[in-house]
Amino acid sequence: MDEPIVTLAHCRTLGYCAHGMRTFFARHGLDWAGFREHGAAASVIEATGDSMAIAAAQLARDEAEQGEQ
Average pLDDT over residues 47-66: 96
User: Could you report the per-residue pLDDT of 16-38, keeping only the tens digit for each?
Assistant: 999 999 999 999 999 999 999 99
C-beta of residue 4 within 8 angstroms of C-beta of residue 42: yes
Inform me whether the pLDDT recorded for 68 exceeds 70: no
Inform me whether the pLDDT recorded for 1 exceeds 70: no
Put simply, whether the predicted model's pTM sits higher than 0.75 gets the answer: yes
Confidence band for 2, pLDDT divided at 50, 70 and 90:
confident
Backbone angles phi, psi at 5, to 5 degrees: -110, 125
* CA–CA separation, 39 and 51 (whole Å): 18
> What single letter denotes the amino acid at residue 56?
A
Inform me whether the pLDDT recorded for 69 exceeds 50: no
Backbone angles phi, psi at 41, to 5 degrees: -60, 140
By the 10 Å C-beta count (0-12 exposed, 13-18 middle, 19+ buried), 60 is classed as: buried
